[in-house]
Each structure stands twice: as structure tokens, then as C-alpha cells.
Structure 1
């Protein structure tokens, strides 16, 4: 009998076979739609480090809305976000105020529109209202924005202003924003965005290992493949509860077991976990950690390497001493790394890695403190 297809999906944004540890968010959102206009979870902010499953969570909430026959508009923050939203929600510029067609190649229009910044809040509000008017009773519109930390203040002001008016008018709408943890301080603290402070904030962290173990067991055994408890425990611990690593580990051990299998075994063994975990760590390092380190300056990497000597949060004074610099000098690199969302300020005078497994990656790649791979 052929070994079953691999059920694990370590691809950014792709729905995994089981959504682990996020059920409460799905339930809150579902209840928000059921409870009608005014429900707090119709305005939601999802935050967490890279690879924690924010995009997957947006996909899941979109599926919940679609099952209720709502329309869903998904966008990723970048230049022109608000104009793109208006174009997608109300493709006919005549339906909104202040809209003009953008000229395109050879005079052909692709339906893009340009809105004067001052008119964007009203234009987006008009576009959503016009869209809602076309929907039947009981239907609504969900707008999700991924990577919200990359949105301009002007676009976020327009979106939050439009959302504020629509929610006050009891319109059948919902807004879900997702981004890095800095999203809360960078956007919510802006005076023009005080409305977003009322959002239901969902912080995605590591998944408890007992939930990881249950999910791995159900996924593996549910596909007709056996795994002993001690082997399952090794695979579980290797994930560290990091959602992306859960998928990488699952995918790696499954692939090795399938290649080893002779057609009669259909089991995941200790050797599969050993090789699969090694491959998962390599992929995590190459796909997540290496690109981050590569774009940093040499001294920023030295700051990270000084942090990597600790097993947990690092004292900023200890880091400065390890770098052989005074606090003011070292704090300049601390701020750069905070701005790049590579580290977090865990408490007064303490910093920690914002990217899971970055500490382990630095220890493996630069065991002797060699940071030649970093830019000047």
C-alpha cells in the first residue's frame, strides 16, 4: 500500500491540516458575526512574531465569514492600500466620491483608481456602503489587512475613520488587522487612530506543547500512519511550540518516513524524527533567520551574538560589556534592531529575540563569534 500523502503544509499562509491553539480566536470571531453589529470582535487586531500563523488566522476567519455568505476582501499593506481597497470594493469609480481613473499603458485602464488623500476616508466609506447595498439580507463584508505594520499612517487613518463611521451606523461589516507586535505601539498610539484602541486584540504566541502533541498525533495517526509515544514526544519538543516549526517538523519527518518505507511499515520512527528535525531546522534557518541576519549591519549582528550567549532575555548592560562598548553606543544598535522587529524589549533593561529559533541559528552558524556573513 502506498504511503499516504504528506498532510503538513510548511508554506507561508497555507492552511495547515489542524489549526492548533487558535480555536478561541475563531470562536470569538464567529460569535461576533452571530451577535450582529456592535459586537466587539467585529473589529480585531491579531499580533505576533513572524511565522506564528497570522496570515493563516486571517484565512481561517475569512472562511468563517464566507460560510455565513459574507463577502471577504483580503489585502496586504503596502503603498496604495486604501486606493486598492476602494477599487476592489466598488470597482466602478462613479460609485464613490473623489475617484478618478489612473492612466495605464497604451491608454488601457485596468480599473485602478486614484483618490486624493483628504477624500479617502469618505470614499472608502462610500465604496463599502455601495457594496453592502448590493448584498442580500443577513450578508456583510469582512476586510482583512495583513502586514499592517507596513501600512502608511495616511492609509490607516482613512481605513480607521471609515470603519468608525460604519460601525457606528450598525453596518454589517467587520475589520481584522494582522501584524507584528510593534503594530500596537506604532499605530494604536497615534492620536488619529485612537478608535483602533477599542479593537479586540489577539496576541499569537507559542502553542502549548500538549496541544502540539495532540495535533501531531491526530494528524499522523488519522492518516493511517503509526508513531510510538516516545517518538511523538521527541517530535513535539523539537517544534518549541512555534507554529511554522510545527509544520516544518511534521513535513520533514513524514517525508523521511515515506522515503524509507518499504510499503508495509507505514510508521514514523526515531530516525525519521532525527532527520526530519535536522531538515526543519535547516529550512527555518535558511527561510526565516538567514534573510534577517543578511540584511543587518555587522555591528547589529554582533549585538545579536552577544544576546545569543544567554538562554533567555539579555541585560542591555551585559550586551554592551560583551561588545566592548559603552551603553550609549550599544543602545544605538539596540534601537535599530527594535525598529527592524528583530528583538523586543521584554522588560526594563532587558531585550529578547522577537524571531523564534534565531538564538539557536546564531549559535549554530557563528559558534566562534564569526559574523562575516553580515553586511558592513
Structure 2
């Protein structure tokens, strides 16, 4: 009997077979569309650490909008965000006030859009209004923006201003922004973006292990594959409730079991053994290190990494004074790297004088790639 196709999808942004622990966000958004203009969940801000499933959540909300016959415009924040939105939304760019086309060598129709910065809010608003007219009655427009923390303040000001006018006019529109946890303080505390304080904030944290266990069991046993309760418990606990790790563990456990079954078929049919789980978890941890942790560490300076390694000696939040002592530096010097790591959203400050890792499993990665150092 052939082992079924692997149901787990540990690829960034790819929809997993089960959207674990996020059902309430989907339900709130769906009700927001059904309740009509003015519903609070038509303006949503989704935050969470890297790998918490923000991009997947945006994809899910886009699918919900499409089932309601809405059009979806999805973007990722980077330079020129507002201009790209206008060019994608406007049904006929040449007829939108404030928008001109800079001709290219291939002709005006293939040129770049040129929008005066002061006119961006009104131009975006006009573009959305024009697009809604082409959609017809009962249809709407959803705009999702991923990695919002990377957007310029100028772009976010223009987008927030246009969104405020559209929602105030009871237009059939919805806006969902997604980004790192610092997005809440960075955006909502900006005076020009006070409007976003009224958004429905959804914080994606770790998934409860009971939900993880149920999802793994559903995906595995629902495909006709056997797994013991002990093996399922080990797989569940190894994820730590981290959404990306859930997919990684599931994928590599499944792959190891399939390869073993192919080499030495079991008399009991397709089965995942506890040894498959142990091997799969080890491979998942290695992939998490390679795909999430290593790129973060490799782009840092040597002393910034020293700061992280000093933190990694603790099982939980670290004292900033102890970290400085472990580095052999003064508090003032160590705080330079503390601030840089905070700015990059690699660490967080849960309390005064304390720091902790903002990226799940980064502590474990640093420990695994550095000889054990005795704690001070």
C-alpha cells in the first residue's frame, strides 16, 4: 500500500491542510463582511513573530473574501507600496486625478506611474472608488498588506488616510495589515495614524498544544496512517506550539515514515513509529535553524551575536546587566547592541531591565551552534 501524499506544507505562505488555532480570526473577518459597512473587523491588524502564520492568515482571509464575491488586492510592504496599490486598483489609471504615466521606451501605456506625494491619499481613494463602481452591487474590495513594518511612514499615512475616508463613507471595502508585534507601537503611536487605533488587533501567538495534537492527529489518522499516542505526544510537544514548527515536524516525520515503509513495508500497513518522530523532529529542528535562525544570525555583527549568545545562557528572559557582564562590557556599551536587536525585532523587552528572544527556537539554535558556556 502506497504511503499517502504528505499533507504538511512547511513553505512560507502556503496554506496548511488545517489552519490551527486561528479559527476565531477567520470567523471575525467573515462576520465583518456579512455585517456590512461599519463592522469593526473590516479594519484588521494581525501581528505575530516570524513564522507565526501571518501570511497564511492573509491568504485565508482573501479566500473568505472571494467566497463573498469580493475582489482581493494583496501586497507586501516595500518602497513604492502606495503607488503599486494605486496602479493595481485603478481600473483606468489615465482617468484617475493626480495620476500620470511616465512614458518608457516601449510607449506610454507601459510606463511607470508618477504620483505627486501630496496627492497619494486622494488618488488612492479615487482609485478604490472607481474600482468599486466596476465591481457592481453586492461586491467589495479587500486590500491586504503583509510585512507592514517595512512600509514607509509616508506610504502608511497615505493608505491610512484613504482607508479612513472610504470606511467613513460606508464603502464596501476592508483592510487587513500584517506585521511583527512592534507594528502596534510603531504605527499606532504615530500621530498621523491615530485612525488605525480603531482597528481590530489580532495577535498570533503560540498554538495551544491540545490544538496542535488534534490537528496532527486529524491530518495523520485522517489520511489512513496509524500513529501511537506516545508518538503523537512526542511530535506535539516538540513543536512548542510554534505554527511553522508544526508544519516542519509534520512534514519531516511523515517523510521519514514514508521512506522507511518504502524500504521495509510494515505488516500493519502505513504507520508512523516513534523512531520516525524522533528522526523527523531532529530534521525539523535543523531546517528551522537553516531557514529561520541562521539567516537572522548571519546578517548581524559579531558583537550583536555575542549579545544573543549571552542571552541564550538563560532559559527565559535575561537581565540586561547580566548580559553586559557576560559580554565583559559596560551597560552603556551592551545597550547599543540591545537597541539594534530590538529595532530588528530579534529580541523583545518584556519588562524594564529584561530582554527575551522574539524569534521562537532562536535560543535553542544558538545553544546548538556554540559550545556550552558556564553560566555566570
**What is the root-mean-square deviation of aligned Cα atoms in Å?**
1.1
* Aligned pairs for 1:112-131 within 5 A: 112-131=112-131
Distance 2:28 2:8 in 1: 26
* Greater displacement, 134-143 / 35-44: 134-143
| Cα deviation code 1:140-173 (max 9, x no counterpart) | 0000000000001110000000000000000000
- SS at 1:143 equivalent: strand
Partner of 1:372: none
| Cα deviation code 1:247-303 (max 9, x no counterpart) | 000000000000011455301101110110111001000000001000001110010
Indicate if the aligned counterparts of 2:94 and 2:101 stay in contact, CA closer than 8 A.
Answer: no
Indicate if the aligned counterparts of 2:252 and 2:283 stay in contact, CA closer than 8 A.
Answer: yes
Picking from 267, 271, 283, the partner of 2:271 is 267
Partner of 2:337: 333
What is the aligned length?
A: 369
Return the offset for 1:93. 1.7
Partner of 1:29: 29
Distance 2:362 2:106 in 1: 48
Partner of 1:304: 308
Indicate if the aligned counterparts of 1:10 and 1:244 stay in contact, CA closer than 8 A.
Answer: yes
* Aligned pairs for 1:235-246 within 5 A: 235-246=235-246
Partner of 1:206: 206
Return the offset for 1:185. 1.3
- SS at 2:110 equivalent: coil
Partner of 1:90: 90
Indicate if the aligned counterparts of 1:95 and 1:130 stay in contact, CA closer than 8 A.
Answer: no
Partner of 2:133: 133
Distance 2:112 2:96 in 1: 13
Return the offset for 1:134. 1.0
- Please list every run of at least 4 consecutive aligned residues from structure 1 whose deviation after the TM superposition is greater than 2 angstroms: 102-112, 262-265
- SS at 1:103 equivalent: strand
Partner of 1:374: none
Partner of 1:15: 15
Distance 2:291 2:2 in 1: 31
Indicate if the aligned counterparts of 1:256 and 1:272 stay in contact, CA closer than 8 A.
Answer: yes
- Are 1:142 and 2:142 counterparts? yes
- SS at 1:260 equivalent: helix
Return the offset for 1:108. 6.2
Partner of 1:222: 222
Distance 1:299 1:307 in 2: 13
Partner of 1:79: 79
Partner of 1:346: 350
Distance 2:93 2:108 in 1: 16
Distance 1:361 1:138 in 2: 50
Partner of 1:54: 54
Indicate if the aligned counterparts of 2:91 and 2:130 stay in contact, CA closer than 8 A.
Answer: no
Unaligned runs of 5+ in 1: 370-376
Distance 1:243 1:305 in 2: 25
Return the offset for 1:102. 2.8
User: TM-score normalised to the size of structure 1?
Assistant: 0.96
- Are 1:231 and 2:231 counterparts? yes
Return the offset for 1:367. 2.0
- Are 1:280 and 2:272 counterparts? no
Distance 1:104 1:228 in 2: 63
Return the offset for 1:348. 1.2
Return the offset for 1:107. 3.8
Distance 1:25 1:255 in 2: 31
Return the offset for 1:103. 3.0
Indicate if the aligned counterparts of 2:91 and 2:131 stay in contact, CA closer than 8 A.
Answer: no
